[in-house]
Amino acid sequence: MADNTPTLVSGEPQRPRAQFVATGFAIAAAAMMIAGALAMYMARRHASGIHPGSEWLNGLKVPNPQFDYALLTLYTSIVTAHWALWASRRRDTAHAWTAIATTIVLGLGFVNMVIYSLNRMELEIGSGEYPNLAFATTGLSLALVVVGLIYLGLMGLRSVGGSVGQHGSTPLGSAVFFWDFVAVAWTATWYAVYVVK
């Protein structure tokens, strides 16, 4: 009689790109957070009156040029982030480092521009529903940008430690992946809160 007992597979689980997959899950979770915040914003805006776009702003002026330039800066940083990844995969550490540093500088510039724009708008927490929700959604997006910057900086440190090449660039690739998501998240926030208002 044949032995039909199933044999168990032995060995450690193989996770060649575990960090990339984990970043994907983090992006999915953060996307739901942003969606929840923006959905709440849109729902409250929708319920604010017949002409919600103008009524609940209550005289506040959105400085469009500043926000547009901030968005352009963020998009430029995506290009430099991918430049860093491209260089890292080819073991071109000089270019990789220049690109990572440029990305971080552009990211910091973006944060500065957004905060400047908020100051220019003279938003005041507690002065109305729009300022409260605008602060909450913008703050969440900015927090994601800061997390993305720290992630890029840390993975940049790994690349200076020699984590380069086609396989070695996976950590940096994960950070760039998250940075791409950050740009998408900010675009959605910007469009909902400062364009559609």
Partner 1 sequence: MLGIASRYFAGRIAVAAAAAIILGIVTGLDETGHVVMFGTIVLGTAAAAFALLTALALSLGDNDSIDRERSHSYPATPAYWPVMSAFGLGLLMVGLTTDGFIAILGLATIITASVEWTVSAWADRLSKDQVANATERDRLIAPFEIPLYGALSIAIPVLLISRVFLAASRSNASWIALGLSSLVLAFAFVLYAKPEIRRAIVATALVAAGAGLIVAGITSAAIGERDFHPHEVHQDEDIEHENDSEATDYEEHSQAPNPARIVVR
Selection from 111, 86, 110 nearest residue 96 by Cα: 86
Interface with partner 1 includes 97 (CB under 8 A)? no
**Tokens in use for 24?**
């994907």
Interface with partner 1 includes 15 (CB under 8 A)? yes
Cα separation of 155 and 88, whole Å?
11
Is-contact 182 145, C-beta < 8 A? yes
Interface with partner 1 includes 43 (CB under 8 A)? yes
Interface with partner 1 includes 20 (CB under 8 A)? yes
Question: Length of the chain, please?
Answer: 197
Taking the complex as a whole, the smallest distance from the CB of residue 158 to partner 1 amounts, in Å, to: 5
Interface with partner 1 includes 105 (CB under 8 A)? no
Taking the complex as a whole, the smallest distance from the CB of residue 127 to partner 1 amounts, in Å, to: 23
Of 46, 59, 94, 126, the one binding partner 1 (CB under 8 A) is 46
**Tokens in use for 87?**
């260089």
Taking the complex as a whole, the smallest distance from the CB of residue 91 to partner 1 amounts, in Å, to: 16
Taking the complex as a whole, the smallest distance from the CB of residue 67 to partner 1 amounts, in Å, to: 21
Of 79, 105, 115, 150, the one binding partner 1 (CB under 8 A) is 150
**Nearest residue (CB) to partner 1, 66 versus 163:** 163
Residue 5, helix vs strand vs coil: coil
Binding segment toward partner 1, per CB under 8 A, in 90-98, 100-108, 111-119, 153-161: 153-161
Cα separation of 77 and 138, whole Å?
19
Selection from 181, 178, 117, 141 nearest residue 36 by Cα: 141
**Nearest residue (CB) to partner 1, 1 versus 8:** 8
**Tokens 């790994």 map to which residue?**
158
Q: Please name the residues in contact with 185: beta carbons below 8 A apart, sequence gap of 6 or more.
A: 30, 31, 34, 141, 144
Cα separation of 178 and 152, whole Å?
9
Cα separation of 175 and 188, whole Å?
20
Taking the complex as a whole, the smallest distance from the CB of residue 162 to partner 1 amounts, in Å, to: 8
Q: Can you give the binding site for partner 1, defined by CB under 8 A?
A: 9-17, 20-21, 24-25, 27-28, 31-32, 34-36, 38-40, 42-43, 46, 150, 154-155, 157-158, 161, 163
